[in-house]
Amino acid sequence: MTALRIRLPRYTRPRNKWRRRIIDRARKEQAARSIAKFTEGRLSVDIMLYLGTENLEKSDVDNRLKDILGALQGRYGGPKAKKHPYLAVMKNDALVYRATIEKKRRPKSSSDGGWLTLRSIG
């Protein structure tokens, strides 16, 4: 089972810059582990999103999930912006059959924005 696991950067505005930081980290880990682009099959994505007090109550998990899935497809210029498929780690988020996302207050011992795991499930 192929899996890509990254530390998410802290959520910041504007969200398109956050998306770009996500894809940069994902591609770096993908290259380091020689993981091919996810182009077929079923995928699962699991997200633990750490937020500061100022964003915890304001951030909708569905919007953050859209941001993350958009980033993994190479889309970081907004919802209507052109994709950058050469940056994508997955072909399309239609391949995602299972997604979990949980938000919680950032632990005092953590400086990152949580965790993301993308894996093939068949």
* Per-residue confidence band for 80, with pLDDT thresholds at 50, 70 and 90: low
Percent of the chain with pLDDT over 70: 93
**Residue 30, pLDDT above cutoff 90:** yes
Could you report the per-residue pLDDT of 41-57, keeping only the tens digit for each? 999 999 999 998 887 88
Q: What is the mean pLDDT of the chain?
A: 90
Of 88, 87, 86, 84, nearest in space to 73 by CA: 88
The CATH code of the domain that includes 35 is 3.30.1330.70
Count of the separate structural domains present in the chain: 1
Q: Which residue range(s) make up the domain with 25?
A: 3-120
